[in-house]
Amino acid sequence: MSTSANTSTKQGTISGSSTGSGSSTGASRAENSAGTPREEHMLLNMGPQHPSTHGVINLRVESDGEMILRVTPEVGYLHRSIEKIAEKVSYNGFMPYTDRVDYVAAMTANEGYAMVMERILGLVDEVPRRAYYLRVIASELCRIASHHVATGTMVMDVGAYSPFLWWLREREAINDFMEALCGARLTYNYMRIGGVMADLPPGFDRRVIRWLDHFEPSIDEFNRAASENKIYIERLAHLGVVDRDMAIAWGLAGPNLRASGVDFDVRKNIPYSVYPELEFDVPVGRGWCGEVGDSYDRYYVRILEMKESCRILRQALEGIPEGDTMAKVSRKLKPERDEAYAPVESARGEMGYYVVTDGEENAYRLKVRTGSFTATQIMQALGAGVLIADLVALFASFDVVAPELDR
Amino acid sequence: MEAYTPYLWDLGRIAFMFAICLGLAGPLTWAERRQSAMIQDRIGPNRAALTLFGREIRAFGLFHPIADVIKLITKEDTINIHADRFLYNVAPFIALFPALMTFAVVPFGPDITVGGEVHRLQVARMDAGILVVFAISSIAVFGVTLAGYASASKFALLGGLRASAQMISYEVTMGLSVLGLVLIFGTLEPSAMVVAQGELIGGWLPRWGVFVQPLSFIIFFTAAIAENKRIPFDMAEGESEIVGYFVEYSGMKFGMFFMAEYIEITVVAGLLTTLFFGGWQVPYLMDGVEFVNAAGTTIVGTGFHFPWGGQLYTGEWVGAGLRVGAFLFKLIFLCWLQLMLRWTLPRFRYDQVMTLGWRRLLPLSLANLVLTAAVVLLI
């Protein structure tokens, strides 16, 4: 009884004082959990415009000086009703919108939608093998580019600016490849229901291999500059530990899940495309510098994944078969009443498209499941008890991309 | 005219000091951006151009500091409506003032004799010169803390609090690390310390502070960077965390905090040069030694006396020029070193900085002091 009354007062005061801007006037008078007399706590809005949120997310922080008592992520600032738009545009016309679901790794977002529609239309076996290989090449390049941003901004949030720009330089090369492949550098709109938009441009494979020869050693260079730095390790090791059970309970996905020691990768466990034909390992968190599931593991899993993506790329570029890039698909799609779910391994974990069709030219309902959302909600559990500086590093370690979070 | 001459000398010295401090602050902002561009594989600022007689002069972006100042001065000066206006306005001045003052005790050249009068190349020669440095630099805390407090912004307040705690902690360490040198050279006066550093150990190694007190150099350098609030100790700024104690400032008031930072870089470099790198001393360039000139006569004066036997007479004026040049060279090198650090390392966390200061560096500097005292006592 008294506990619930306390909680309600607490929340009431916090939301009431959120408009105050003075440090003393805006401090919320809240009772701490022990129920001891009133204490001055501070309500801090980290976001929606804050350098560490990398997009418009608001972390409402209740803190006692530097010590954070509670974190409440507020989402929805970048909500563009993409799922609703799917109900209004044609099936082919929705493809460009999937780019906007996750513009840091737009290829995998493309791929997921193409796959779910192929399942609905029964095209899975008709898509040419060359198209599948092209999808793998594009997706893996995109995964590397996305991990560039993830690990780079993480290092930047911890204060080292230079390695971030080294990664952006490498990412620039991938943007050039993408431009050569499909004409766009950020929102590609490359994949189609039934294949891909265009074949490889001449000399593309040689250019990528030459870049890979340069890029793979540069991962070690990056590690020497950032990952092995003592200050960096001390900042991240043992920070925000998510153990195996907790990671599953909060529904973490992708690298965040694997950092907690769960060996789950959609490419391996729910095979799709031509991934079963390619040889690669799935890096799992081992507690490299601290314990399994800490922020350093989440960071380092991504570094290792880049290496694995390089392996996949080399195999795919070598083993790509000749042939068409598109299956025969009619221009106007009117699938029967049906439903399907297709997950892909995006750079931020399992990205699933669930679509319900009803015989019309547009979807009855479409739902996108993304990794960023669960990664944001776990901040409530991890944020309490860390310092403000830690919160920034912790949030960065989950690699949340705002558009993917809100859609 | 005669009566005014000492004042003219004083004005000249002060002008030279300001020329170093302010003159270096502008190019340092350019150097920092250009340097970081080199490290990060970028081109860096190169667009500010001056058009003279129809020709566009870019000078590697050296006009950028000027363009920056024009921008900062013409920008709107915003004040948060909840801010304490008086403290808010006065804080940048309190931050800038001590940074400029500290350089007064740094000698930038040897004493020179003009017209039979000895003139010092140092603005203020005080017996307690080193103590004055610490006295003034402790005022700098107020500028930062007041800026954080008066801005009426929580982020700025956090920055101000972090800065005050950090600067006070590291001042203790900084002071203790210098005491070893005070014991060895037996003086608190910077120019006397520089003169003492002109001697040679074992006939070849200059008796520079960095050679007689290497540990003290590392501690002092670390503490000085912490005092200056730059990466890896930029808790007060923490651009990705709290954006800094100056987050609410705009225009030239922000510019003053910015300038204070770069002047402090120069001051730290100046102090390091004076205490640990022999100030204006050039290795093996000595006063009052005997030289044999080509005619076979022996003269006594200033010149190089190399440990391997060679000698080179320079005379007092060339020697003084070389020494001021050496001081500037060391100064600029140490400024560059600080810029390098800024773009290489990540940032500590607040509690890690405190742990490092109080539990590692402070005991270390105390141990260093005790050891030095014992050695000085025994020898």
Residues A92 and A225 reside in one and the same domain: yes
Considering the domain boundaries, does residue B340 fall inside one?
Answer: yes
Contacts of A66 in chain B (CB under 8 A): 158, 162, 350
Provide the residue count of chain B. 379
CB-based contact A152:A164 (threshold 8 Å): yes
Domain count, chain B: 1
pLDDT, one tens digit per residue, over B16-26 is: 888 888 888 88
DSSP class of residue A80 equals -
Query: Which tens digits make up the pLDDT trace of A56-84?
Result: 888 888 888 788 888 888 888 888 888 88
Is the domain of A164 the same as that of A69? no
CA A138 → CA A135, A240, B103, B157, B270, distances in Å? 5, 33, 58, 47, 54
| Predicted confidence (pLDDT) at residue A386 exceeds the cutoff of 80 | yes
Say yes or no: B44 contacts chain A, CB-CB below 8 A.
no
Give the one of A161, A231, A234 whose C-beta lies nearest to B343's C-beta.
A161
Q: A386 CB near a chain B CB, below 8 Å? A: no
Indicate whether A356 belongs to any domain: yes
Mutation for B interface: A19, A21, A23, most B CBs within 10 A: A23
Residue A376 lies in a domain: no
Higher pLDDT, A37 or B263: B263
Q: A401 in a domain, yes or no? A: no
Say yes or no: A86 and A68 in one domain: no
Region B115-130: mean pLDDT is 81
Note if the bond before B27 is cis, omega within 30 degrees. Answer: no
In DSSP notation, A240-280 reads S---HHHHHHTT--THHHHHTT----HHHHS--TTGGGS--
Are A123 and A188 part of one and the same domain? yes
Q: What does DSSP assign to residue A363?
A: -
Same domain for A36 and A156, yes or no, is no
Residue A399, in any domain of the structure: no
pLDDT digits (tens, 9 = 90+) for B152-205: 888 888 888 888 888 888 888 888 888 888 888 888 888 888 888 888 877 778
Tokens 């776990």 correspond to A378
Answer whether residue A393 is part of any domain. Answer: no
- In sequence order, the 6+-apart residues with CB closer than 8 A to the CB of B367 are none
Determine, yes or no, domain membership for B43.
Answer: no
**CA-CA distance, B182 to B19, in Å (whole number)?**
29
B373 class by beta-carbon count within 10 Å (0-12 exposed, 13-18 middle, 19+ buried): middle
- Residue B133 contacts residue B271 (beta carbons within 8 Å): yes
Last residue of a domain, one of A45, A74, A103: A74
Are A357 and A212 in the same domain?
A: yes
Distance between CA atoms of A294 and A290, rounded to whole angstroms? Answer: 7
pLDDT-based confidence at residue B1 (cuts at 50, 70, 90): low
pLDDT digits (tens, 9 = 90+) for B220-264: 999 888 888 887 888 888 777 788 788 888 888 888 888 888 888
- Provide the number of structural domains found in chain A: 2
> Quick check: B358 and B296 in contact, CB under 8 A?
no
- Nearest by CB: A169 against B41, B153, B158: B41
- Chain A interface includes B230 (CB < 8 A): no
What integer best gives the mean pLDDT of chain B?
84
Looking at chain B, the whole-number percentage of residues with pLDDT higher than 90 is 2
DSSP of A4-18, one letter per residue? HHHHHHHHHHHHHHT
Q: Cβ–Cβ of B154/A23 closer than 8 Å?
A: yes
Cα gap B27→B33, rounded to integer Å: 10
- Residue ranges making up the domain that contains B239: 76-378
In a domain, A396, yes or no: no
Question: Chain A: nearest CA to B124, how far in angstroms?
Answer: 38
Residue A226: pLDDT over 50: yes
Of B158, B239, B346, the CB nearest to A232: B346
In a domain, B10, yes or no: no
pLDDT score of A343 more than 80: yes
Same domain for A37 and A134?
A: no
pLDDT digits (tens, 9 = 90+) for A286-336: 888 888 888 898 899 999 999 999 989 988 888 888 888 888 887 888 888
Q: Which pLDDT value is given to residue A184?
A: 87
| Domain co-membership, A139 together with A274 | yes
With an 8 Å Cβ cutoff, are A231 and B351 in contact?
Answer: no
Q: How confident is the model at residue A144 (pLDDT cuts 50, 70, 90)?
A: very high
Here the CATH number for the domain that contains residue A90 is 1.10.645.10
The interaxial angle of helices B5-39 and B85-102, nearest 10 deg, is 100
> ipTM > 0.85?
no
Among residues A48, A85, A146, A95, the alpha carbon closest in space to that of A372 is found at A146
Q: What local confidence, expressed as pLDDT, does residue B144 receive?
A: 87
Domain range for A35: 2-74
DSSP-derived 3-state class of residue B118: strand
pLDDT higher than 70, residue A7 = no
CA distance A156 to A148: 12
Residue A284 counted as domain residue: yes
Angstrom distance (rounded) from CA A152 to CA A230: 17
Residue A46: its pLDDT value, please?
A: 83
- Say whether both A155 and A55 belong to one domain: no
Instruction: Tell me, yes or no, if B360 comes closer than 8 A to chain A by beta carbon.
Output: no
- Judge if A306 and A333 occupy the same domain: yes
